[in-house]
Amino acid sequence: MSDRIEVRRWSLLLVMAGTLALSACETVQTTQAGAVGVDRRQTMLLSTEQVNSGAVSAYKQTLQGAAQKGALNRDPAQVARVRAVAQRLLPATGAFRKDALAWQWEVNVISSPEVNAWCMPGGKIAVYTGIIEKLKLSDDELAAIIGHEVAHALREHGRERASQQMAQGLAVGVIGAAIGLGSVGQDLAGLVADVTIGLPYSREFEREADRVGVELAARGGFDPRAAITLWQKMAQAGGGGPPQFLSTHPSDESRIKDLQAYSARVMPLYQSARR
């Protein structure tokens, strides 16, 4: 009997998923190609609004958790430095999508030994003290990290990853939530946190974020070649068990080669930003 109920439940979910896919599945181009020529079209099952509202909750929860541990923006000078780098990068986002200039960007520093940084959908950034201190980052390298993470948000990789999770039936609660059943907020917040912080992105997403990231850095007047030294430092820091950021951001020969080619391509943008 329980089997039959299970079958019914699954067929209901399949119908729901089918309805949702028919009504909401769209192929989009989230960003302009830029000088780096990133122009892959993306299939989305969730709307930007759904994902971004999930990100607002997930970000708030993360900051509250850090604040309770006394780990939020502990060192004012460090926070000012990180925010100053971000402020120079953000006007460059308009080269990829104009709407990003009006996003509610937020930049916060979390005290944690973790070598990590991320940008949730819609522009909610966190940089961990571990990545700044352990890698002894220059401003150019800090810009390379923030540029890379911001690029994930501009390309809406979180929304795309969440859509892939749904298509694979791994986010069943969200399927119900998206068509008006269940508790939308919490399911989406959990999914957004998962796809931003917890799950590794594909090599393709990483390549796109690397390429868009060097262009953002160059347009902000940061040396785009710092991305190369950054990933070399990352690789060295990986000795003795990879930190989370490394395992989700595979660092290898081909990545360095790609960064060399694309940072060379955006050098004229860097030079004119410096003038």
Positions marked active-site:
149
Tell me if 131 contacts Zn ion by CB under 5 A.
Answer: no
Of the two residues 206 and 215, which places its CB atom closer to Zn ion in the complex? 206
When CB distances to Zn ion are compared, the closest residue is: 209
Smallest distance, Å, CB 266 to Zn ion? 18
Smallest distance, Å, CB 205 to Zn ion? 7
Cβ proximity of 125 and 107 under 8 Å: yes
Cβ proximity of 216 and 85 under 8 Å: no
End-to-end CA distance of the chain: 75
Smallest distance, Å, CB 216 to Zn ion? 13
Smallest distance, Å, CB 249 to Zn ion? 5
* CA–CA dist 29, 27 (Å, integer): 7
According to DSSP, the residues that pair with 43 across neighbouring strands are: 27
* CA–CA dist 127, 114 (Å, integer): 10
> Quick one: which segment of 7-15, 46-54, 242-250, 251-259 binds Zn ion (CB under 5 A)?
242-250
- Tokens found for residue 231: 């990933």
- Pick from 154, 192, 209, 269 the residue near Zn ion by CB under 5 A: 209
Of the two residues 72 and 230, which places its CB atom closer to Zn ion in the complex? 230
Q: Report the candidate in 149, 139, 124, 160 with the shortest Cα–Cα distance to residue 43.
A: 160
Tell me if 214 contacts Zn ion by CB under 5 A.
Answer: no
| Contact positions vs Zn ion (CB under 5 A) | 206, 209, 249
